[in-house]
Structure formats: C-alpha cells, structure tokens
Amino acid sequence: MLKIFGFNKKEKVSIQELAVVYTKTLFEVIELGFTEIIEFVNDNRKFEESPNLKLEDTNWFLMIVFAANNHSLSNHFDDEVVHRLHHASLNELIGFFDMEEDLVRDMFLDYEEFFKEQYSEDISIEKAMAKSIFVKYNLNEFQGDLLKNQNEPNPVFLQELTDLMSNFIWNWSDYLAKYKVN
C-alpha cells in the first residue's frame, strides 16, 4: 500500500558493500560471458582468418568492461559517491590480480583513459566497448584489405559486438530501485 502513494522502503547499502557486490557481479558476468565473446569473434565470417582469441586473453576484456562500467557511474551518482565507489571497486579489482598493487592500479587507470578515447557523446557505452575490444585485440589485422587499410571495423561486426556488450553493463536502474547508497 505504501508503494501506491510513492513511498517505498529501500535497503541501505554502504559504498564498501556495493563495491564488493559490483565487482563480484562484474567478475561473474565476465567469466560466464567471455567465452561467448571469444566464440563470436573467432567464428565471425567478417574476418579473413580467425583471430584465435583464447580464454587466457580475458584480462583486456575484464579491464574494458570495468572501465566502461566505471565510466557510467557519474550518470547515477554524485561526484563524491563516484569517487568513493571507484576507489573501493579498484581495491576489490586489485585483489583479483596476482600483481603488485601499483601495477594493477596504473594498468586500470590506463584502461580508463583508453576507454575515454574510444567513447564520445555520439556513441553508446556498448559501442565504445566494442571499439575498445577491436583495438585492444588487434582485430583489424584479420579483416579484408579495404577495411584493414581504413583501420575501421566492419560496421556489421561492430554492431553485432555492440549488441553483445549490452550484457556486460551494470543495470543501475534496477539496483537503485531496491537499494539506497549511503
């Protein structure tokens, strides 16, 4: 009855709790979905030969997905929450890698900058993710000469990959309908 009048009780969650859920969920989605991305790219008929991506090639993909999702945080939170969530999720991410903390931090910040270069206001986050994958996995090398010389992804391939990337974007609308970040 309270929902009828616009009142609803949202569960409160701290930034640290959110960072753990956010990071863990993105890891799970990446772990489950990267195989589909590999199959899509390797079996794609738009390439002259298969890029032969392997499951071990997941780190670039993981960084692109995290950079894209962190890029969209400012669409849902004020600057202070974005900064705190970014820092807390980066600390969670550091625990995933078996590398020095500073090295992981620098690598992640580099990927965020790289993603910003791929993203512009006239394209979606998903398309910027697809372009990032195209560049990082050097997929241009597997295209026909015309597109290879233009250094542009096949538009059909790019759109199909863009559609797949929508599965790797955190759904803040649903989450924030149930939880309030404090």
Taking alpha carbons only, the member of 10, 54, 37, 53 closest to residue 142 is 53
Task: Check pLDDT > 90 for residue 160.
Answer: yes
Strands (E), 84-168: none
88 with 19: CB under 8 angstroms? yes
pLDDT digits (tens, 9 = 90+) for 43-68: 999 999 999 999 988 989 999 999 99
Phi-psi label, residue 151: left if phi above 0, alpha if psi -120 to 50, beta otherwise: left
Tokens 């004020």 belong to: 78
- Within 10 angstroms of residue 99's Cβ, the number of other Cβ atoms is 11
Taking alpha carbons only, the member of 165, 62, 64, 57 closest to residue 114 is 64
CA distance linking residue 171 with residue 113, whole number of Å: 23
Q: What is the pLDDT of residue 95?
A: 84
Kindly report the pTM of this predicted structure: 0.88
